[in-house]
């Protein structure tokens, strides 16, 4: 339980305060009902979801971020620390589920001030009282974001999240081992069964592991159609599984460079790392596959119970400064969504911008993920696919 129980003091317009208190009450009631049906509910729904927010202004001396591994430029963190004389602490997770697991288990006492959830998870986080509503007036650089990267379907009005970066899913292949030209998801599947058989990797996440077949067949990857999902499972377990060598989410973190695979399923920034860090930069070829693929967005959010909210707002603000954003882009290789970042990156001579920025045509083929009713089914297929692979 949080140690202090100060009344919520938020610098927010009157009606926002009302909204917040009413939501707390509703959540509390819902939480109590849910709690009643479980034996060990404990503080599952933290009714006194207390932000204990100090009045806006004084930045605290510490900031704790729970994020993906190696997802911020160390230089940027250092400069932020110096600028605000604070101590920046980082912990990392490997999946959104892990993030949610940690937050739910901690029930508001996780001690983190900033988390980095992927967009579609925001509604679930909000519903489970795990993230705070943002006071956008405190994020003065909010206007630096391109309009198309705010107000996303899973968080209208940016109530809880601010874009950190966005990217897509594709694949890369080793041209020294694969001599065909590849451009679609069907190519990915065909080569996986043929030249790259037993030497390829699939992303280690349920939606992506299931998605590529659906995309290859021009089906929305978030489909809830039972028949389509059954066909997908059938294909993955019986035709695809024998050819998969491993489920790896970051092949650009060494596997590509070391030649562990011939074909890798990857997110664009990570594939880019693998390509530009190889001895021979022409060895790996990146493919933006059709007819459909993903658009995902990672965001900054402030968890409920954050002990240093001022520092959190300061950090979010800081990252929206164009120069800082460029440094981030250079390190992680993803589009940060800040205005004019593309010309800036070009000017700075950042390599392989074709894997960072996408044309409107390409963006038009991208679809976002969501946590819909098919989630459980997808997870089940993913589990079985993983178990069947290599067997």
Partner 1 sequence: MSTATTTPVVHRKKVDWTKQALRAWAVLMYLFLFLPILWIVAFSFNTGRLLTVWNGFGFEGYQALFNNPAPREAVVVSLIVGVLSAIIATVLGSLAGVALARRPGKWTIVFLVFVALILVTPEIVDAIALLPWYVQLGQGWNLTIFNNGYVRLIVSHAIFSTAVVTLIVRARLSGIDEALEEAASDLYATPTKRFTQITFPLMLPAVLAGGLLAFTLSLDNTVISSFVSIQGTTPWPVYVFASVKTSLRPDIASISTLMFILTVLAISLVAVVLKRGGDSSGDIAATMTGTG
Partner 2 sequence: MAMDTAEAVDTGSAAPSPRPGGSKRRIQAPKYALAIPAWTLFILFFALPVGLVLLYSLGEQVSAFVQKPNVSPSVWSFDNFGKAIDPAYMPIFWRTLKIATIGTFICLIISLPFAYWMATKASPRWRGVLLGLVLVPFWTNFLVRTIGWQIILAPNGLVSGWLQDLGLRDAPLALLYTQSGVQLGVVYNYLPLMILPLYVAFERIDPALTEASKDLGANRFKTFVQVTMPLAVPGAIAGMLLVFIPLMGDYITPSILGGSAGSMAGTLVAEQFLTTFNWSKGAAMAVIMIGFILGALLVFAILGLLLRTILRGRRRVRLPEASA
Residues that bind partner 2 (CB under 8 A): 34, 37-41, 44, 95, 97-98, 100-101, 104-105, 124, 127-128, 201, 206, 237, 241, 244-248, 257-260, 371, 375-376, 379, 382-384, 386-391
The label of the residue with tokens 């979801």 reads 49
A 10 A CB-CB count for 148 gives 12
Q: What is the DSSP string of 177-223?
A: T--S---BHHHHHHHHHTTTTTSEEE-SSHHHHHHHHHHHTT--TT-
Distance CA 314, CA 140 (A): 10
CB-based contacts of 240, cutoff 8 Å, min separation 6:
189, 192, 193, 213, 385, 389
Distance CA 156, CA 362 (A): 24
Q: Does 105 bind partner 1 (CB under 8 A)?
A: yes
91 binds, among partner 2, partner 1, none (CB under 5 to 8 A by kind): partner 1
Distance CA 46, CA 41 (A): 11
68 binds, among partner 2, partner 1, none (CB under 5 to 8 A by kind): partner 1
Q: Which of 112, 96, 117 is nearest to 165 (CA)?
A: 117
Q: Does 228 bind partner 1 (CB under 8 A)?
A: no
89 binds, among partner 2, partner 1, none (CB under 5 to 8 A by kind): partner 1
Q: What is the DSSP string of 87-133?
A: EEEEEEESSHHHHHHHHHHHTT-S--SEE--BGGGHHHHHHTT-BPP
Q: Does 48 bind partner 1 (CB under 8 A)?
A: no
A 10 A CB-CB count for 210 gives 26
Between 263 and 302, how does the x/- string for binding to partner 1 read (CB under 8 A)? --------------x-------------------------
Q: How many residues bind partner 1 (CB under 8 A)?
A: 34
What is the nearest approach in angstroms of partner 2 to the Cβ of residue 280? 11
Q: Does 388 bind partner 1 (CB under 8 A)?
A: no
How wide is the angle at C-alpha 122 spanned by C-alphas 385 and 209, nearest 5°? 15
Q: Does 92 bind partner 1 (CB under 8 A)?
A: yes
- Three-class secondary structure of residue 252 per DSSP: helix
Q: Which of 148, 226, 258, 387 binds partner 1 (CB under 8 A)?
A: 258
90 binds, among partner 1, partner 2, none (CB under 5 to 8 A by kind): partner 1
Nearer to partner 2 (CB atom), residue 60 or residue 255: 255
What is the nearest approach in angstroms of partner 2 to the Cβ of residue 24? 19
Q: Which of 348, 188, 170 is nearest to 275 (CA)?
A: 170
Q: Does 66 bind partner 1 (CB under 8 A)?
A: yes
| Structure-block tokens of residue 19 | 């909204």
Nearer to partner 2 (CB atom), residue 226 or residue 383: 383
Distance CA 180, CA 178 (A): 6
28 binds, among partner 1, partner 2, none (CB under 5 to 8 A by kind): none
82 binds, among partner 2, partner 1, none (CB under 5 to 8 A by kind): none
Nearer to partner 2 (CB atom), residue 253 or residue 322: 253
249 binds, among partner 2, partner 1, none (CB under 5 to 8 A by kind): partner 1
What is the nearest approach in angstroms of partner 1 to the Cβ of residue 110? 6
Distance CA 355, CA 288 (A): 8
Which residues bind to partner 1, rule: CB under 8 A? 1, 3, 40-43, 64, 66, 68-71, 74, 78, 89-94, 105-107, 109-112, 249-250, 253-254, 257-258, 277
């Amino acid at each position: 339980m949080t140690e202090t129980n100060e009344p919520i003091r938020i610098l927010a317009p009157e009606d926002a305060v009302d909204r917040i208190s009413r939501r707390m009450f509703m959540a509390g009631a819902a939480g109590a009902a849910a709690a009643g049906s479980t034996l060990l509910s404990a503080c599952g729904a933290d009714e006194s979801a207390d932000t204990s927010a100090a009045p806006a202004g004084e930045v605290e001396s510490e900031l704790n971020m729970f994020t993906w591994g190696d997802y911020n430029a160390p230089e940027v963190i250092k400069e932020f620390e110096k600028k605000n004389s604070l101590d920046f602490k980082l912990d990392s997770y490997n999946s959104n589920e892990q993030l949610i697991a940690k937050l739910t288990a901690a029930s508001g006492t996780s001690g983190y001030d900033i988390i980095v959830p992927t967009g579609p998870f925001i509604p679930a986080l909000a519903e489970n009282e795990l993230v705070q509503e943002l006071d956008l007036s405190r994020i003065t650089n909010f206007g630096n974001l391109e309009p198309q990267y705010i107000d996303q379907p899973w968080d209208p009005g940016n109530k809880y999240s601010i874009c950190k970066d966005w990217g897509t899913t594709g694949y890369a292949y080793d041209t020294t081992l694969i001599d065909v030209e590849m451009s679609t998801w069907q190519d990915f599947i065909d080569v996986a069964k043929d030249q790259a058989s037993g030497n390829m990797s699939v992303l280690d996440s349920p939606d992506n592991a299931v998605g590529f077949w659906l995309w290859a067949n021009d089906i929305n990857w978030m489909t809830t159609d039972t028949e389509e999902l059954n066909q997908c499972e059938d294909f993955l377990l019986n035709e695809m599984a024998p050819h998969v060598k491993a489920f790896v989410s970051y092949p650009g973190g060494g596997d590509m460079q070391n030649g562990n695979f011939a074909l890798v399923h990857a997110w664009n920034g990570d594939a880019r790392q693998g390509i530009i860090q190889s001895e021979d930069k022409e060895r790996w070829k990146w493919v933006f596959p059709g007819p459909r693929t993903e658009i995902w967005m990672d965001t900054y959010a402030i968890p409920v119970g954050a002990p240093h909210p001022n520092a959190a707002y300061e950090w979010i603000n800081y990252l929206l400064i164009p120069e800082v954003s460029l440094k981030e882009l250079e390190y992680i290789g993803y589009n940060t969504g800040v205005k004019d970042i593309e010309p800036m990156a070009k000017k700075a001579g950042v390599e392989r911008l074709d894997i960072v920025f996408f044309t409107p045509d390409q963006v038009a083929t991208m679809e976002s993920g969501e946590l819909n009713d098919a989630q459980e089914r997808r997870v089940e297929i993913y589990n079985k696919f993983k178990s069947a692979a290599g067997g």
